[in-house]
Each structure stands twice: as C-alpha cells, then as structure tokens.
Structure 1
Amino acid sequence: MTRKRPSRLHHIAGIGVDRMGAIADISGKDFLRLENLDVDIPPDPEAVERTRKAAAHDDDNSYLPFIGQAHLRDVAARHVSDLSGVPYSGERNCVISAGGLSGILNALLATIEVGDEVIVTDPTYAGLINRVRLAGGVPKFVPFAFTPGGEWRLDRDALRAAIGPKVTAMLLMSPSMPSGGYLDAGDWDLVASLCVANDLLLILDTAMERLVYDNRPLIHPAGLPGMAARTITIGSSAKELRMIGWRVGWTVAPEAFMPDLIAVSLANVVVPVGIAQDAAAIALERSRTTLAPYVAELQARRDTVLEELKDLPAGVPGGGWSLLLRVSDFDIDGETMSQRLLEEGVCATAMRGWGERHGAQYIRFVYANEPVPRLKLLGERVRRALRL
C-alpha cells in the first residue's frame, strides 16, 4: 500500500537516543553509556514502596479522576507556588499528564494556532521542537552560544530581534536540554518584559528547574511582574525525582487556561498512570530535603567530564544532565564523532535536528547514568576518537 506521509511529519526530527541505545544494548560491549537520559541513582525509596502498594490498591487502578488525583494536584500546585511566589490551587490550576512532554504537547495544542511562531533556544531538545511542529506551530530559534571552556549565554539581542507579528509564545527551559544552558536573572527579566510588551505566552518546561550547579539561584519567571497571568508551567517526575518509568507530569496554569488544557488532556492521553501518581506526590514533597545530595552528585559528574575534556571546545552546563562538545572544530560532524566513539567504547548521541544553527556540529554527553570513576575513562577515548 502506498500512502502520502502527513505533512505534519515532514520536519519531525529523530532524537537519535533510541538508535544509539539499541546499538549499545545489542553489542554486549561495556560502553560508557552517555547517550541516554536515564539516571543510575534510584528514586526515593518511599516513592518506590508507595508504587508497590498502589499496584494492589483498587482506587489507584482506575481511570478516575481523569485530570489527576487530588493529592498530586495539590502537591504540584503548592510546589510551583513555593518556587514562583504565585498562589496556585490544585483544584483550580492543575492537571496531571502522562509525563512532562505530554503536558508540553497538551499546552501547545491548547494555546497555539497553526502557523504561530514559538520562540525556542538554539540548541533545544528535538522532542520539544517536534511538539511545536506537531501542534502546527513554527519554531523560531534564538541562539545559546559559548566560548570554549565557558558557559552558555543567551543571545539577548537575537531574542529581541526574534519578536515579530507571528510570534505568540515562548517555550523555554532552564537549565536547557541538551546544553545545560542556564537563564540568569537578566535573561528572565528580558523574557518577561518582551512577553508583557507583546502579549506573549510563556510555556515553561521545568523538568530540570532545580538541577542547578555552583549555587546558582532558582528563578521561576511566573513570579516576575506581569507574568503570572501568562505563564504555563509544566513539571515532570523524570529528571528531578528520578522516576522516569512512572510517566507522571503536571501542568500548573492560570485558571483561564484550564478548560482548554483539560479538554486537550482528555482528548489526548485521557488519564495519567494511576499507580504512579501518589508516589510522585510523595517524592515531590520529600524532594525539598532529598534533592541536594543528588544535585551535588550530578555537579561532581559534570566537573569530572569537564576535567576529562579540558582544553577541548565544550560548553559548561549551569545545570541539568548533559553537555555538548563542538566537534566541528576538528572538521567532523556529530554523526562522524558518534561512530568513532563507538569504536572507542563510548555511546553518545549526535545533535542533528536539535537546533537551527546549533546541532550537527555537536556530540552530547549525558553524565547522569555513569558514576565518577567510570567518567574518568572518557577523556582518553574522546581524544582517540578526535585523532589527537
């Protein structure tokens, strides 16, 4: 049977992680697993135990409530309120989704018209770019950039210049994936002023919001002047709570957006995973005190990778799980580097499709799934792959 491919898929990019992971799994070789977005640090044991109990609990084996269990909605709303200073209610301002990315797509479908332009950073996770396109939007890229050995910086002039008549929203993440780029107070002040002056929506991906290094402050832009009414916050249990397989996310938004967000949620996944929700609520509540050692471990891993890549053109992440090495400085692209690294026992993902100007020239190293002693094997292997 021949069938025309739907036009909405013409610009959908693969993320590469699944292909690289399959190669490593099939080979049986002891690769340094730096290709994926898993984490080897287990979730909160109380959340795991609550999940076990939920599997045998009839109320958790249910379609209801369609918009998410009340406890998790209350906890998620309070969590966002605590970070932003904006008063939110679980009953009036929160809907639960089957993971953070499902919540992102729901927010886009509920707010973006076909042809609307949505500002994203360059580079940005291909999964976010794909969801803008699936919703009928057009990604408009604003560069992050770095000098070798330096941090990623938002190009503020480019952000100002990106504003145009078709732009209706920004979809931002800090720390950003895959770069670990961090938006500082001046960046967020500019974002807020542009959103308010141009009546733009901010869709905020907070999957890694608290995974920040070097004592950087956590800035939640919903609390900035004029932003409470125009910010939709999407959270996730995957990165901060290390509950990847639970597939739980939450959307916290002004009450005016909730009917459409709920309508799209019901038309899409219908209901999030019942046996996972209360466990996520417990982990989120407990993370106020349990998160710090986890962040410290991630920072130690980042520092180890940076030391291993010393004097190579790597951007310094301000947070998150991963960093990028610019291999175009050595006259190769990320795909070539990925293949060379496989020969050296390193599984890492190329970045084609993860940006407009920034993408193909990078290889990404995710350091969340390998401990410090193993990460100390990276530098020699990278230099061999670069033919240094």
Structure 2
Amino acid sequence: MTVSRLRKIPGIGVDRVGDAADALCDPDILRLENLDTDLRPPAVALARTHEAIDDDAANSYLPFTGLRSLREAAAARVGHSAGVEYDAASECIVSAGGLAGILNVLLAIVEPGDEVVLTDPTYAGLINRVHLAGGVPKFARLRPGPDGWRLDLDSLTAAIGPRTKALLVMSPSMPSGYVPSPDEWQAIARHCENGGLWLVYDAAMERILFDGRSVVHPASFPGMRDRTITVGAVSKEYRMIGWRVGWIVGPQSIMNDVRLVSLSNVVCQVGIAMAGATAALTATDDGVAAAVAEWESRRNFLMDALSDLPVIRPHGGWSMLIDTRSLGIEPPEASGLLLDHGKIAATPMGGWGPGAERYLRFVFANEPVSRLQDIRERIRCAWRT
C-alpha cells in the first residue's frame, strides 16, 4: 500500500517521455522534454573539478554544511542580487542540488497540514516536495496573455488562508518562463509581511532573463530579508547539471533548523563538485550572459516559427508552454503524436498545477536553432495543424 505522503504525487512526466525517446535511439529526435542544455559549463569550473578528483580533501564528508569558500561565494551572490548582506558562516548552507535545498527548507518550516502557496502552472517537483514535507499545496493562477504570463493577484489573495505557512515562488518559473513584475513581487512581499509568512524563493534561473529584464530579488523589499529563504544552484545558469551543488541562504533565525534537516537528510554535498561550483561563482567570466543570449535567440526562433500556434511567450528560463487543448488535442495525446510522427519529445503538464493540464512543454535549452529549422513542419505532420 502506498504511504500517504506519496498518494498525491503522480511523478513529473519528464521521465516517461525521456525514457520513450531514449528507447528509440534516434538522433533526429528533437529533445524538448527535459531540462538539459548543450551549452558548456565555465572552463574554470571544469578545470577545478578535474583537480578536485585528485584532491584527497575533496573525498570527504566534511565540512557538512559545505566548503567555506563556496558558502562565501553563494552568500555574496545572493547578497548582491538582493542588495543586502548575508553571513556565510551562519546564513548559508550548501545543498546537494537546488531541489534538495527546497525540500530541506520545507521540512524546516512546514508542520503537517500547513499550506504552501505556489503559482499555477509550476514545476511538479516543487508541488511534490510540498507533499513530501507534509504540506498542502495551494495555487495562485498565472494568466497567459500576448506578452506572456501575469500573476492573478486576486487568485493569490484567495489562496492565502489561516493555515498558510509559506509562499514558494520560482523566477523565472518553470515550465512557463513567468517572471514576476516589480508590482507582483511587491504584492507577494505584502502578503508575507501581513501574514507572517515565509517566502521560499527558488532562484535556480534567476539571471536567465529575456527582453532586457533585470533581476528583482524579493529580499530587497523592506522587511523581506528576514522572511526570504533563497535557494539557488549551479545547474541552470552555470550549465552544471551533473554537479548537484546548490545553496540555501536565509536569515540566521531559521538556518540552524535548515542545518539540522540537511544533516539528517542528505548529510553532505558532492565533495568533488564543490571546488568547481566555487570556481563558477567566482569566475571573471562565468559565461552566463553569452548563454542567456543564445537561449533567448532560440526562444525568439520558436516564437516566430510557431506564431500561428497557441504558444505563450516566456519572460526567461529554458521552456515555453503550448495550449494543445485549444487545438482540440489533449497534451498526453499531443506528446505521443509528436514523438511517433514528428520526432519531437515534449512533456505534457499533468501534475504541474490545476491549470497546467491543458499545456505541453517545449524546452529550448538543449537544441540549437540549426536543429529546430523544420519544427513547424514536424508539428504539422504530427497534429495535422
């Protein structure tokens, strides 16, 4: 019998589509289902990782909360974004990837039955981790429009109740590419202040912003430094998915509890990966700007190529959503047709929020424009649209 904490977790779907694409062993398949990228990590990060493999000190459990140099770099990175200072010794912990950090934070702040408000759509892995922590997910709607997604502020207000413990917001959000406007961040901050709520900020893609947008960190708003817990990672911006290194930065008042969870959960981080992560965070040129320019060009190409289809424009991130239900095709069927007849792997958004069921996700981080040239014709062959 399935334990209760798993009964509302359907999975994420990406694994099933990815396995189906892998089984075909066809290099012509466009891999738009999974958040990988073909862009290389910073050269200095690769070099330091190679060195760490031969460094006996890196083959260790210690220090349990992460290398001091990495904690200093992560605290400085978050502090720079937020315009505030964090103490690396007491306000930063290294995690085994960003999502391990999210789960550790939720386990440190959520009592069974507490509610956590997320945007809808949002990454299924975030929803699942709320369930794993014993929490109850509630949702604030994102509304699609000609210029992308916007937060429904009335829906946000309605989602917050007496059992709400935290808001969990990712920016740019996955899978939609939604980025809160300054006014939307202000509304989020106001709810946190008025309700005494935590804001768990998933900053995994913070700098992957398009159309000239700038980073707005929620801890920069008055009163929010002591209510915001930032979780970041090297996976997306730094293109270092396999390193499994992230960080948690927040006020000292909660970080000892996060530390206790971290010690009781994964215990420690990937020792041979932390030197490379530190090198990426402190590099003179981390390659993020060039990578963002490339991802934006791919986004632009797809928006043009698919202009006659109901694709919602992402503000940033690695993916976009297409409303296949409005075309008369349910997303699971649309996904199957694309793989079978269009050689495109794409994930239906079941389990990614109540309003996500009508969407199919296209990831543009892993396929260059040269391989996307015939994507509209592939879709036409698969869907007859």
Question: Fold-level match, TM-score > 0.5?
Answer: yes
| Equivalence for 2:222 | 225
Q: 2:139 aligns with which of 131, 137, 141?
A: 141
Structure 2 distance, partners of 1:305, 1:110, is 41
- Contact 1:236/1:248 (CA < 8 Å) preserved in 2? yes
Q: 1:113 aligns with which of 111, 127, 140?
A: 111
TM-score of the superposed pair, with normalisation by structure 1 = 0.97
Is 2:139 aligned against 1:132? no
Alignment of 1:1-388 (within 5 A): 4-29=1-26, 30-147=28-145, 149-286=146-283, 290-343=287-340, 344-356=342-354, 358-388=355-385
Deviation at 1:288, TM superposition (A): 6.0
Deviation at 1:281, TM superposition (A): 1.0
CA RMSD of aligned residues (A): 1.0
Deviation at 1:158, TM superposition (A): 0.9
Larger displacement relative to structure 2 (378-387 or 51-60):
378-387
Residues 99 and 325 of structure 1, relative CA distance in 2, 3 Å threshold:
same
- Tell me the percent identity: 51
Structure 2 distance, partners of 1:282, 1:68, is 14
Structure 1 distance, partners of 2:189, 2:378, is 43
Larger displacement relative to structure 2 (42-51 or 316-325):
42-51
Structure 2 distance, partners of 1:86, 1:383, is 50
Deviation at 1:150, TM superposition (A): 3.1
Structure 1 distance, partners of 2:57, 2:371, is 43
5+ residue gaps, structure 2, are none
Larger displacement relative to structure 2 (291-300 or 13-22):
13-22
> Which amino acid in structure 1 is aligned with residue 325 of structure 2?
S
- Contact 1:305/1:376 (CA < 8 Å) preserved in 2? no
The number of aligned residues is 383
- Secondary structure of 1:152's match? strand
- Contact 2:65/2:94 (CA < 8 Å) preserved in 1? yes
- Contact 2:42/2:286 (CA < 8 Å) preserved in 1? no
> Which amino acid in structure 2 is aligned with residue 155 of structure 1?
D
- Point out 4+ residue stretches in structure 1 off by more than 6 angstroms: none
> Which amino acid in structure 2 is aligned with residue 33 of structure 1?
R
Deviation at 1:387, TM superposition (A): 1.5
Deviation at 1:182, TM superposition (A): 0.9
Deviation at 1:384, TM superposition (A): 2.6
> Which amino acid in structure 1 is aligned with residue 89 of structure 2?
E
Structure 2 distance, partners of 1:187, 1:311, is 30
5+ residue gaps, structure 1, are none
- Contact 2:33/2:362 (CA < 8 Å) preserved in 1? yes
- Secondary structure of 2:140's match? strand
> Which amino acid in structure 2 is aligned with residue 225 of structure 1?
P
Structure 2 distance, partners of 1:125, 1:161, is 21
Deviation at 1:287, TM superposition (A): 6.9
Deviation at 1:298, TM superposition (A): 0.5
- Contact 1:20/1:347 (CA < 8 Å) preserved in 2? yes
- Contact 1:327/1:334 (CA < 8 Å) preserved in 2? yes
- Secondary structure of 1:179's match? coil
Structure 2 distance, partners of 1:151, 1:267, is 41
Deviation at 1:160, TM superposition (A): 1.6
Deviation at 1:379, TM superposition (A): 1.3
Deviation at 1:383, TM superposition (A): 2.5
- Secondary structure of 2:312's match? coil
Structure 2 distance, partners of 1:290, 1:360, is 35
- Contact 1:241/1:287 (CA < 8 Å) preserved in 2? no
Residues 134 and 50 of structure 1, relative CA distance in 2, 3 Å threshold:
same
> Which amino acid in structure 2 is aligned with residue 234 of structure 1?
V
